[in-house]
Structures are given as C-alpha cells and as structure tokens.
A and B are shown apart, each in its own frame.
Chain A
Amino acid sequence: MSNIDPILLLSAIIIVSTPILLAAIGELVVERAGVLNLGVEGMMITGAVCGFIAATSTGSPWLGFAGAALGAALLSMVFGVLTQLFLSNQVATGLALTLFGLGLSALLGQGYIGVKGPVVPDLYLPVLRDIPFLGPVLFRHDAMVYIALFIVLGVWLFLNRTRSGRVLRAVGENHDAAHALGYKVVRVRLLAIAFGGACAGLGGAYLSLVRVPQWTEGMTAGAGWIALAIVVFASWRPGRLVLGAWLFGGATALQLALQASGGVQIPIEYLQMAPYLATILVLVILRAGRAPGSLGRSFHASS
C-alpha cells in the first residue's frame, strides 16, 4: 500500500469520474422530466465512437466532443420519438437503445481500431497549478473536467433557479397536472432526452479521447449503467451526483493503483469487481430519495 502516491490517486479519481459524471448529469435531467432512459450505455458508446471519428478526421479534439454530443443526441432522439410520440415502453426501448448503440458503434468504429487520436491538452492554469498538493490534484487537468463540473452547476441553477427548470420538474412530477396548466409535456421531455443524449455522448468521448485515448469496441464497459445507478444514489439532486461520481471514481482509481503497485496478493478480478460492488453497497445502504412522480410513465394527452 505504501507505494501508492496520494496525489496521483486523487488526481486519477477526478479523471475516472468525469465520464460518469457527464453521463449521469444528463440522465438526471431526463429523469427529472419524468423519463427513464436506460439507454445511457448505448448513447455513451455511440458518443465515444462519433467523438473519436470526428476528432481524428478533423484533427481537433473539440470538434470531436461536439460530434460526440451531436451523434449521441441524435441517437437519443430515436428513443425520444419512440417513447414520447409512439408511447412505447420506456424500459424496453431504453434497453434496446443500449444494444443498438453497442452494435452501431462497433460498425462505425471498424476502421478506427488502433488508430491514434489527437491529444487533448491539459489546461494551463497559472498560479493555481502551483499550489502544493491541491495544484496537481485539482488544477492540472484538461478542460473537459471543468466543463463537466460547470454543466453540473448549470443544471443545478437551471432546475432550482429558472422558470424553465421549474416547468421541467413539474412535468416530471405530475405530467397530467402540467398538461392541465398548459405546459407542453412532450416537447419538454424531448428536449430533456436530447440534452441527456448529448451529455452521455460527451462522457463517452471523454473515454475515447482523453482517458484511453483510443477507440476499442465496448470500451464504456458498463459506465452508463453506473451513471444510472448514481442518479438514484444522488436522489436526483445534482450536488450529490458529484459525490456519487467521485465515490465510484475513487473506488476505480484505487483498484487500478492497487493493481499497479502489486502489493496485494489477490486475483485482479476481485479488484476489478470492487468499484461495482462498492456502488451496489452504497445504493443498498443509502435510502434513495423520492423519485419524480411521473418517472417512467407514458404521457398521452387524451383526457
């Protein structure tokens, strides 16, 4: 244990948690609007491949992130149209979206396996980066780390401080009442689903452009499912979402560090399981808060 560097570990937690945080904040908005989209994994991996293709063909990682958000948002609209306009079952459609996304990304990424993508530079933050301990842990990362945190802050402000955010929460809480008051339930939900898709796409692209950085089939490896779990863990509140993402990121970074240090004499499969077990344990121990009242229910303006 002694040869694990705490600075490197903490810094790794931030990196590992960023893609989950991005996907989870998108799903949080979707669920607050009353829609359960289980296709996060599929949207993430689609974002990962779209981002990688866009970045390698333009040479710009930023266009890569933009392409990832766009691609995953388009994919999420498949889910949106099916569940909101054709009233298909949200659980089944979401699961189908994950399977579809995994297949689609494998097809799109065929020519890109082993290709090297453009490098995403770390943000140079003068003064801050030189603070002892905190500097290397918090202030020597790429821009997406901070963008992700700003998105979380923005979502919090949106949900709690703006009229549109209040309408979105109202739609998720009681869609019949929101409709009776004259709000466009389906439109609000489609926008939320598109935002959720874009965020999942950014999360996926963070994997293929920053963390790995390469395209590999199935590279999200369940991150989308963890994002879904963290939304519940966070009781649908953005602040706790960050904690949840760091907790999972922490467990992952710790097991990676333990593997690398070679100081622990157990099969590495146990270490690989650890973050997922930790997430499940925390979910069981913590009583989840109250879910949005209309979560997962189809809305049809019939009455």
Chain B
Amino acid sequence: MTTPLLELSGLTKAYPGVVANSEVSFDIARGEVHALLGENGAGKSTLVKTIYGLVQPDAGTMRLDGQPFAPPEPRAARAAGVAMVFQHFSLFDAMSVAENVALGMETPPALNRLAAQIREVSQSYGLPLDPDRIVGDLSAGERQRVEIVRCLLQEPRLLIMDEPTSVLTPQEVQILFETLRKLRAEGVSILYISHKLEEIRTICDSATILRHGKVVGKCDPKVTAARDMAEQMVGATLSTPSRAGGRTGEVVLELTGLSAPAPRAFGTALKHIDLSLRAGEVLGIGGVAGNGQDELAMALSGEMSVAPGMIRLKGREIGTVGVNARRRMGLLCAPEERMGHAAAPDMSLTENALLTAGPREDLVRHGFLRWGRARGFAERVIERFDVRTPGAGTAARALSGGNLQKFVIGREIMQRPEVLVVNQPTWGVDAAAAATIRQALLDLAEAGAALIVISQDLDELMEISDRFAALNGGSLSAPRPAEGLGIDEIGMMLGGAHDMTPAHGEG
C-alpha cells in the first residue's frame, strides 16, 4: 500500500465556548472521492479551512504525501496542490470570469492567455465558460464552474468541494459528477463535503462522519444505507413528516400575469406568472437560485408593489397593498434570509415577534406596544417549536441558524395564516429541526391554510408539496401534481441545463 495523499491526525481547534474539531484523524487516499459528512455545526467547515490554511489548528498534525504539512495561509496550501471550491462562492460580481480566475492563482498569466486556457480547460472537462462575461450576470451553476475551473487550472492534487450541489439542477449535478469522475481517473483526490446522502452514495469511495467536532464513524457509502449514515450524523433516529391526505377547498390566492422588473442590479424580472392556489394545498416552487425566487416572494409579501389586479387574495385585488395590510388580510410571508430580513439580529425575540405579529395578534394598541402580550406570544412560539434559547429576551443574533429559523417560521405559523409563503424554510437547518419545520407546515395545510413553499431542496419539495412548479428566468412553469414526478421531468422543468454537455473522454 502506498502512503495516503493526506493524513490528518489528532486535529483539534477550539473557539471561545465551542470546540469545533476534537482529535479528528482520517486519511485521504490518492485518486479517491472522500466524503466528509455531518450536520451544520459538526465542524466540517473548520476542518477544511484548516487543510486550506485559513485556520491554524490548536493541536494535531497533517501530512501531505508523507511530508509534514502545516499551511500558514491559503497561498501555501495552493502551492502544495490543495484547491478549494467554496460553498458561498468566493467570487467578485463586478469582475469578469478571467479576472476572477486570475485572483485565485499564484502567478496568473496575462489575461488574454488566461482566457484561452480557461476555454481549453472548461471545454475538456465539459464545463463551458466564456472568460469575458461578468460574473454578476452568471447563473449559480455557471458561477460554480468558474470556481472549479479556477481550481483545475492549478492542477491540484487535492480538490476540496464544500456542498457543491446545493445550487445545481439535477442535470448540472450529473455533469459535475462526470467532471469529478474524470478528475479521479487522472489521480486527483477529492474531499467532498455534503449532507445529501444519495449523492454521496453515488460519487464517493469512502466517508468520514463528524458529529460535534468528533469523528463518529467511517464507512463505505456504496454499501451503507443512507438512513444509517443519517442517524450516525444526527446521533438519533429520524422520522419523516407525514400528512393525512389532501382535501383542498376554495381558490384563495390568484396570480394573473404577474410581471415586475428586477428590483435591483443582478436581480431577476418576473415574467407573466399565472397561478391559483386553493385552501389546504401546498405548492412547491423549485428552481436554481437567482431565477426569481426572491422577487416572487417580495411581490407576494408586499415588499414589492405590482399592478393591483396581478395578485388577488380571496377575490380582492391586493397588488399595491402594503405588507402589514396583507398580514391583516391573512397573507403571511417568511423570507429566506434569517438575519436582517426575517429577523432583526440585535433585537430580542419578543421584539422580533412584535415586528410581524403586531397586526394579527393584537400586540399594538393605539400606537403603544403591549409588551406582556408580545412576550407571551414569543414564549408560545419558543415552546411549540422547541426553539433552544434561554428565553424570549435573548437577541436573535445569539441563536443558531436552525433555532432562529424555527422561531421565524413558527412566528408566522402561530398567527394562523390563510396563505403562507415561505422561502427556503429549512436552508442551513439541521435534519431534526428541518423535520420539525416541515411537519409544522404540513399541519398548517391540514388545518386549511394554503402554502407556497419556495425551496432549492428538491427532496424537501417532493416530500411536502401537493403540486410542483419551477421558476426559470423569472417565469413559472405550469404546476404539476408532485406525486409520481420523476427527477428527469423536474430537471426539464427547472431547465437550467442549457449549454452543458457531459465531459468528453472516459467517464
């Protein structure tokens, strides 16, 4: 047996109040795709940042190719052949593809020579890219290609990919996997971070599972059941959400030719969206990020005003009605971004409850805040949704992502909406909390509310939707019953696979 490419032994990193990594040891062999599995907060990010030189470990050692490896900064890691594709892209919107690639290289050639190299590498790996385009105009899938091509141009020996498929359509995922297989055949090792277990079973050769910063298991994902891996990740048994059955009522929300210009630079214009939503129904809206999800949510919540007749709530034209008036009428919205949009980070949970629940829960009278009632409401949300926090007086900022998400979704659900629009309800939330949120959404529909769930997570949409529609370039496809919808049909509806071809050569 040859030495592994990268050996980690006893890596430990502590931050004030939390141990991110504790005695983490595992090996990555040459030419293997190694999965690193774990919930949010399990310490995956800290670990890969250590390998990439962004974080210095408190204890423990790494060996690359048998040689001691302790990169003091990313530059050193790159020079040693370690490249990384970030989860939140490390791209610069206002710059061209070629400039973005150059910024990630140690000694970039002149831009026109680099552009030729980008074309060549991107073609040979089946990831076509125009080096002169401005990154801000690219789709999420194309942005990821920029990141990958930037890595490939440095001929890495180890490629780290942090949640690479979270923004891709199923077709784009297939193309990415072809590229990864080609790289593996060339002897490149890949450290693949994800919590999507089916993907890991498809592409990875071995897996290391982290929980609370410790290695809790190693397995061969090809022969281990997804459920077993999930339970190792969570450290508990999981239940899947369920609902009795769909009885739908009257049409409560109607969109007729909903169109709106993009509200900001690099936004998406909405184009002629027609839709009718019945009471008791869950409509799932999928699509690759940046295809109009935020804009649609803004139009529905009332943050963005449109022509009056474009949106009808129970027959009334509400296109120009403001956010609070819509809340009073029963149309509630939970936006995607928790910090700063759904919740004010520096305000307490009680104050945050007041912000959206004021009109419906009678928390404001004659312009004065009714603190007692507001605190009671916040406490009910905390209790019902199992929000882990010292109390309603805690600042929103102090809650973990999953807990705050439970609070902001719960806050809307507890107001007994007639129509609820949620955008990415379980984004960045751990599996147990996600299951709680999904179950609460289904219970709400069961009780007769109409729901629109906008999400990037197709599995989630398939699990809870009655009907499914996809946003693509600001247009909404005709909704179809979610039951029995195949992954290929969904992919066609998302339509995000233009100008993508599988990698050439052997797969």
Taken together as a complex, chains A and B put the C-alpha atoms of A170 and B93 apart, in Å, by 9
Smallest CB gap from B53: residue in A: A182
**In the complex, are the beta carbons of A293 and B73 less than 8 A apart?**
no
Indicate whether B218 reaches chain A with its CB closer than 8 angstroms: no
Smallest CB gap from A173: residue in B: B92
CB neighbours (8 Å) of B466 from chain A are none
**Minimum C-beta distance from A193 to chain B (A):** 21
Task: Pick the contact of A169: B53, B95, B265 (CB < 8 A).
Answer: B95
Smallest CB gap from A180: residue in B: B90
CB neighbours (8 Å) of A166 from chain B are 95, 99, 102-103
**In the complex, are the beta carbons of A173 and B95 less than 8 A apart?**
yes
CB neighbours (8 Å) of A163 from chain B are 102, 108
Given contacts A163-B108, A177-B89, A181-B104, contact A292 B94 (CB under 8 A): yes
Indicate whether B196 reaches chain A with its CB closer than 8 angstroms: no
Indicate whether B395 reaches chain A with its CB closer than 8 angstroms: no
Taken together as a complex, chains A and B put the C-alpha atoms of A53 and B74 apart, in Å, by 47
Tell me the chain B residues, 83-116 only, with Cβ under 8 Å from chain A: 86, 88-95, 99, 102-104, 108
**In the complex, are the beta carbons of A293 and B53 less than 8 A apart?**
no
Indicate whether A167 reaches chain B with its CB closer than 8 angstroms: yes
CB neighbours (8 Å) of B54 from chain A are 180, 182
Indicate whether B75 reaches chain A with its CB closer than 8 angstroms: yes
Tell me the chain B residues, 46-104 only, with Cβ under 8 Å from chain A: 53-54, 73-75, 78, 86, 88-95, 99, 102-104
Taken together as a complex, chains A and B put the C-alpha atoms of A134 and B89 apart, in Å, by 52
Q: Mark A80-98, 1 if CB is under 8 A from B, else 0.
A: 0000000000000000000
**In the complex, are the beta carbons of B91 and A177 less than 8 A apart?**
yes
Taken together as a complex, chains A and B put the C-alpha atoms of A169 and B92 apart, in Å, by 9
Tell me the chain B residues, 258-279 only, with Cβ under 8 Å from chain A: 265
**Minimum C-beta distance from A33 to chain B (A):** 13
Taken together as a complex, chains A and B put the C-alpha atoms of A183 and B95 apart, in Å, by 16
**Minimum C-beta distance from A111 to chain B (A):** 49
Taken together as a complex, chains A and B put the C-alpha atoms of A290 and B266 apart, in Å, by 11
Indicate whether A255 reaches chain B with its CB closer than 8 angstroms: no
Smallest CB gap from A171: residue in B: B92
Smallest CB gap from B94: residue in A: A173
Tell me the chain B residues, 30-60 only, with Cβ under 8 Å from chain A: 53-54
Task: Pick the contact of A174: B75, B92, B99, B108 (CB < 8 A).
Answer: B92
Given contacts A163-B108, A181-B74, contact A293 B89 (CB under 8 A): no
**In the complex, are the beta carbons of B93 and A173 less than 8 A apart?**
yes
* Most interface-central of A180, A181, A183 (chain B CB within 10 A): A181
**Minimum C-beta distance from B102 to chain A (A):** 7
Q: Mark A161-202, 1 if CB is under 8 A from B, else 0.
A: 001001101100110111011110000000000000000000
Taken together as a complex, chains A and B put the C-alpha atoms of A176 and B87 apart, in Å, by 13
CB neighbours (8 Å) of B89 from chain A are 177
**Minimum C-beta distance from B469 to chain A (A):** 32
CB neighbours (8 Å) of A176 from chain B are 88, 90
* Most interface-central of B54, B88, B92, B95 (chain A CB within 10 A): B92
* Most interface-central of A180, A290, A292 (chain B CB within 10 A): A180
CB neighbours (8 Å) of A182 from chain B are 53-54, 73-75, 78
Taken together as a complex, chains A and B put the C-alpha atoms of A177 and B102 apart, in Å, by 14
Interface of B is mostly: loop
Number of interface residues of A (CB under 8 A): 17
Taken together as a complex, chains A and B put the C-alpha atoms of A178 and B92 apart, in Å, by 9
Taken together as a complex, chains A and B put the C-alpha atoms of A174 and B143 apart, in Å, by 15
**Minimum C-beta distance from A128 to chain B (A):** 35
**In the complex, are the beta carbons of A177 and B94 less than 8 A apart?**
no
CB neighbours (8 Å) of B95 from chain A are 166, 169-170, 173
**In the complex, are the beta carbons of A180 and B86 less than 8 A apart?**
yes
**In the complex, are the beta carbons of A181 and B90 less than 8 A apart?**
yes
Task: Pick the contact of B265: A167, A181, A183, A290 (CB < 8 A).
Answer: A290
CB neighbours (8 Å) of A293 from chain B are 92-94
Smallest CB gap from B136: residue in A: A290
CB neighbours (8 Å) of A174 from chain B are 90-93
CB neighbours (8 Å) of A177 from chain B are 86, 89-92
Q: Mark B339-374, 1 if CB is under 8 A from A, else 0.
A: 000000000000000000000000000000000000
Smallest CB gap from A161: residue in B: B111
Taken together as a complex, chains A and B put the C-alpha atoms of A166 and B111 apart, in Å, by 11
Taken together as a complex, chains A and B put the C-alpha atoms of A180 and B95 apart, in Å, by 17
Smallest CB gap from B78: residue in A: A182
CB neighbours (8 Å) of B92 from chain A are 169-170, 173-174, 177-178, 293
CB neighbours (8 Å) of A290 from chain B are 94, 265
CB neighbours (8 Å) of A183 from chain B are 103
Taken together as a complex, chains A and B put the C-alpha atoms of A166 and B73 apart, in Å, by 20
**Minimum C-beta distance from B104 to chain A (A):** 6
**In the complex, are the beta carbons of A180 and B74 less than 8 A apart?**
yes
Taken together as a complex, chains A and B put the C-alpha atoms of A163 and B99 apart, in Å, by 10
Taken together as a complex, chains A and B put the C-alpha atoms of A167 and B95 apart, in Å, by 11
Taken together as a complex, chains A and B put the C-alpha atoms of A163 and B86 apart, in Å, by 22
Taken together as a complex, chains A and B put the C-alpha atoms of A290 and B89 apart, in Å, by 20
Taken together as a complex, chains A and B put the C-alpha atoms of A178 and B99 apart, in Å, by 13
Smallest CB gap from A182: residue in B: B74
Taken together as a complex, chains A and B put the C-alpha atoms of A183 and B99 apart, in Å, by 15
* Most interface-central of B88, B108, B265 (chain A CB within 10 A): B88
CB neighbours (8 Å) of B74 from chain A are 180-182
* Most interface-central of B78, B89, B90, B99 (chain A CB within 10 A): B90
* Most interface-central of A182, A183, A293 (chain B CB within 10 A): A182
CB neighbours (8 Å) of B265 from chain A are 290
Smallest CB gap from A163: residue in B: B108
Taken together as a complex, chains A and B put the C-alpha atoms of A173 and B54 apart, in Å, by 20
CB neighbours (8 Å) of B94 from chain A are 169, 173, 290, 292-293
Smallest CB gap from A302: residue in B: B15
Taken together as a complex, chains A and B put the C-alpha atoms of A218 and B265 apart, in Å, by 40
Taken together as a complex, chains A and B put the C-alpha atoms of A176 and B75 apart, in Å, by 16
**Minimum C-beta distance from A177 to chain B (A):** 4
**Minimum C-beta distance from B471 to chain A (A):** 25
Tell me the chain B residues, 104-163 only, with Cβ under 8 Å from chain A: 104, 108
Given contacts A169-B92, A174-B92, A182-B73, 5 further A-B pairs with CB under 8 A are: A167-B103, A170-B95, A173-B92, A182-B53, A292-B94
Closest 5 CB pairs of A and B: A182-B74, A177-B90, A173-B92, A180-B90, A182-B75
Which residues of chain B have a CB within 8 Å of any CB of chain A?
53-54, 73-75, 78, 86, 88-95, 99, 102-104, 108, 265
Between A and B, 30 residue pairs with Cβ closer than 8 Å are A163-B102, A163-B108, A166-B99, A166-B102, A166-B103, A167-B103, A169-B92, A170-B95, A173-B92, A174-B91, A176-B88, A176-B90, A177-B86, A177-B89, A177-B90, A177-B91, A177-B92, A178-B92, A180-B74, A180-B90, A181-B103, A181-B104, A182-B54, A182-B73, A182-B74, A182-B78, A183-B103, A290-B265, A292-B94, A293-B93
